[in-house]
Structures are given as structure tokens and as C-alpha cells.
Amino acid sequence: MKLVSSDPRKWKGMDLALALELSTSEVSDSLARCRYSRLLSADPQRFSVRGHALRKLLVHGVPYIFAAHPEPHGRGIVTGASAPPLSQTFGPEPAYVWPAASGEVWGTIVEPLYAGAPAAAKRDNRLHELLALVDALRLGRPRERAVASRLLKEYIPLSPA
């Protein structure tokens, strides 16, 4: 998602690790898995995301692979339909949040895809929006999933790779 949220040509593995709050080995392993599964171009010198494949994985796979089970209320950072761009359609309440002591919203807790996601999203609004769309897919409510799926077509362009 980070590669989609900004120009992928400017990234190196170490820079991605810092931006995403991950170790360099986690990023390296993830990039290798993405190339193997054809989500990224095979060229190790490029981070060219295959948009069509990524959208299919997000819409059809993520709800099962990373199913979200909302937990009791807590303080955190908005996600899912409570965050932009979906909050424009659904409104901010009732709020879904990633747990974070620095969060300003009280709502139903949704565990993020990985522990560093809230911190990375706070530094990159576009990444936050993409992760919120993924969480809307993970939560599985039909109307929110439909709108998130449609918006992902705008956020993740098709690529020639």
C-alpha cells in the first residue's frame, strides 16, 4: 500500500522499512513474496505494483486472510468507514479505530494489519486512506465493502507491468 500511496521510484528497502515501522528484513521478505505472487513486477530494480492483481487480492482475499473482529471500545486513530475517504459517505460515527494512546477518537477497536500501521499512517495521509479502505473490506459490511472496492479502482491504477 505504501508503494501505491506515493511514487514507488523513490523507495529503497531501508527507506520503506523506516516509513512503515518495519525491519528491513520484513520489508525485503515482503517484497520478495509480492514479486513471487506477481503483485510486483519481477524486476528487482523496480517497485512496479500490478494494480489489477493487488485490487483483486484486496477485494477478494483480504477479508478472509486478515479478517477483522471488532473489539470493545478504546481510544485510537480512525479507520474503515470512519476515516477519509469513506467518512464522506458514511460519516464518522460510529467510529472504528486502531488502538493508539495518541489517538483522539473513542470507538470500536479494529486491530491494524500490522503493529506499525497507525504510526506510518499518521505520517502519510494517502497511506492512511488506503489502509482505511482495506479495513472497510476487512470488516465485511456489504455497503462499505462496495464503496471501498469502487474507490480502490481510483486509488490503485492499472499498471502495464
Instruction: Tell me the pLDDT tens digit for each residue of 98-119.
Output: 999 888 899 999 999 999 999 9
Task: Enter the C-alpha cell of residue 84.
Answer: 477519509
pTM of the model: 0.91
Taking a C-beta distance cutoff of 8 angstroms, is the pair 71, 40 a contact? no
Instruction: Tell me the pLDDT tens digit for each residue of 33-90.
Output: 999 999 998 887 778 899 999 999 999 999 999 999 999 999 999 999 999 999 989 9
Query: Burial level of 14, CB count in 10 A (0-12/13-18/19+)?
Result: exposed
Rounded Cα distance between 135 and 158, Å, is 21
Mean pLDDT computed over every residue of the chain: 91
Do you find a cis peptide bond into 94, omega within 30 degrees of 0? Answer: yes
pLDDT at 161: 44
Calculate what percentage of the chain has a pLDDT beyond 90. Answer: 77
